[in-house]
Amino acid sequence: MQEFVEDWGPDLMTPDENDQLNAMEFPLTVYRGGVGKFEELADGVSWTSSFEIASFYANTWPESWGNMGQPLILSMTIELEDVAAFLNDRKEEELLIPEARFMHKSMRIVGHEQASVATA
């Protein structure tokens, strides 16, 4: 997956998404939400600049698939060179970060209380 993202990520962006990426202010805080263990979630390449979207993937989305694991939201600060692509066709402000698996030390867990507030 990482190779695909690195090789094809920029080609997946529309010109508008490319402009949006270049207009972002870096360093940028990004989030990744889901259920499971830190390492499993932290290795993913899809991150978002929206805490609310990450909260959806930590809380609401897993329930719709019957996954009742512990919600987890991670955050980290990135630079433009960390991003392979910005995709916003689903309005999720998705940033593809192929090297996230090597950035664990810069990640932090966002508390569950904060995740619950964002979905209320």
d(C-alpha 52, C-alpha 10), whole Å: 25
Query: What is residue 66's predicted lDDT score, i.e. its pLDDT?
Result: 64
Q: Show the CA angle centred on residue 65, arms to residues 61 and 71, nearest 5°.
A: 50
Query: What is residue 7's predicted lDDT score, i.e. its pLDDT?
Result: 65
Give pLDDT tens digits for 5-39: 566 677 889 999 999 999 999 999 999 999 888 99
Q: Show the CA angle centred on residue 98, arms to residues 70 and 72, nearest 5°.
A: 10
pTM: 0.83
Residues in CB range of 63: below 8 A, 6 or more apart: none
- By three-state DSSP, how is residue 7 classified? helix
Query: What is residue 64's predicted lDDT score, i.e. its pLDDT?
Result: 63
Give pLDDT tens digits for 76-90: 999 999 999 999 999
